[in-house]
Amino acid sequence: MRLIKKSIERDMSGLVTLYPEEPEDMWHAFNLIRPNDIVRAPAVRRVTTESRTGSTNSQRVHTTLTVSVRKIDFDAQAGQLHINGQVTEENKIVSVGAFHTLDLELHRNFTLIKSEWDSVTLGVVKEACDAGERAEIGAVVLQEGFANVCFITEYMTVLRQRIEVPVPRKRVGSTTSYEKVIFTLPIMCLLAKRDQGLQKFYDIVYQSITRHFDFSALKVILLASPGFVADGLKDYIFLTALQTDYKPILHSKKKFVTVHCSTGHIHSLNEVLKSPEVAATLADTKFAKETKAMENFFEMMEKDEFRAWYGPKEVERAVDKGAVGTLLVSNSLFRSNNVAERRKYVRMVEEVRKGGGTSLVLSSIHESGVRLDGLGGIAAILTFPLHDLDESDTEEEETGGGDEKGKWEEKVAA
């Protein structure tokens, strides 16, 4: 994302003009734009004109529209952002009050006008426009006949392709010497079919990564699976690249890392990113820090539950007592339509930072952010234990509210 213009007044109202350059920038825009904000961007509007003879002519006209945002829709897979709202500035084509859906596009400026820019939204702008090199990972999480080809950036985990190929299973059970003689040919045929199935599976995965991955831009390429499936895929990739003289892979051999995981499903990225060999490679990246912070929270929950709290009320009380050392907040909370609720979370982030603590805003479409959303979107590691944060008001007790802490075992089991 490129910052074209920034004009913020003393009352924190103002505007920024941004130039999105890659699909991930649409995710940043999604986290910046709120209902009732004003967005000005290029648009295409179908205009129908009528001639004197009564015939009509319809054509698509390019114009610039300014709308007051009502609804925001983000398609993570396609990297597209759609903004629905009412036109606030009239032009020759559209009158004030008309509804229109703006489709923000790459390589086209858009201007965002807010009545109040808080520290969190300004931080999003700063991160989005950071010219530093971004850490990007290509990942293939697989098991026999099933693979997820993923792309991981600082802020997003995007599934590029899911692959399913039938692979004959191994013959299970022991056999006697007589059975070995009788079934030698069928077993050999079965093994041959199995090898063919694996070869076909590996080839489809190979074609997928060559189509989706830019090997020169990736810092690491993870191949994760139970057993030795990932090792087999790695051998197949290098052998095929050598036979076809595919230089992008041959020049990126050192980037390939095989990791063990429990299943080939995408949620296994949690354990993949925690593995020592991956953590060492990505120690300084944003998502590695977020993953480590979530692990620290769960470890603290096991060691000293009164120093690890989650839930809006409990964490807010801990912040007010100045006890929070690390605050974890999902950015989904800052997309709330309730202005007062957004301000509450902004205040908590600022209070922890003022007190010398660490505030991390986790991406809700990263694996660590998904885990945090399961805990209410906010959690904290305290510098000293507090025992009474889950004490609810009398009215809440009478209506069955409160005591989120007692539900911890149920969440872990789920």
pLDDT, tens digit, 9 for 90 and up, residues 50-102: 777 777 777 788 889 999 999 998 887 667 789 999 999 988 888 889 898 99
- Residue, of 277 and 316, whose pLDDT is higher: 316
Based on the structure, what is the number of domains in the chain? 3
378: confidence class by pLDDT, cuts 50, 70, 90? very high
Residue whose entry in the numeric block shows the structure tokens 């969190």: 120
Most confident of 233-237, 275-279, 361-365, 400-404: 233-237
Residue 74 placed within a domain: yes
Rounded to 5°, the CA angle 306-308-310 comes to 115
Is 169's pLDDT higher than 80? Answer: no
Task: Read off the CATH number of the domain in which 216 is found.
Answer: 3.30.420.60
* Phi, psi (deg, nearest 5) at residue 12: 70, 10
Residues 105 and 153 in one domain: no
Q: Are residues 142 and 258 in the same domain?
A: yes
Determine contact, residues 264/271, Cβ cutoff 8 Å: no
Cα 189 versus chain centre, distance: 44
Q: How do beta strands 256-260 and 220-225 pair?
A: parallel
Pairing of strands 358-362, 324-330: parallel
| pLDDT-derived band at 393, boundaries 50, 70, 90 | very low
Return the percentage of the chain with pLDDT > 70, whole number: 83
Q: Is residue 405, in this structure, part of any structural domain at all? A: no
Mean pLDDT of the chain: 82
Is the pLDDT at 39 greater than 90? The verdict is yes
| 390 or 241, greater pLDDT | 241
Average pLDDT over residues 167-178: 54
Question: pTM value?
Answer: 0.61
Q: What angle do CA 332, 335, 340 make, to 5 degrees?
A: 115
> Closest Cα partner for 237 from 281, 196, 199, 191?
199
Q: Say whether both 324 and 354 belong to one domain.
A: yes
Domain boundary among 97, 128, 159: 128
Q: Say if residue 164's pLDDT is above 60.
A: yes
- Same structural domain for residues 186 and 322? no
Q: Range of 327's domain?
A: 286-394
Other Cβ atoms less than 10 A from the Cβ of 258: the count is 18
Domain assignment present for 413: no
Distance separating alpha carbons of residues 33 and 332, to the nearest angstrom = 12
- Domain end, chosen from 128, 145, 172, is at 128
Residue 162, domain member (yes or no): yes
Domain boundary among 100, 128, 156: 128
Task: Among 111-115, 123-127, 360-364, name the most confident range.
Answer: 111-115
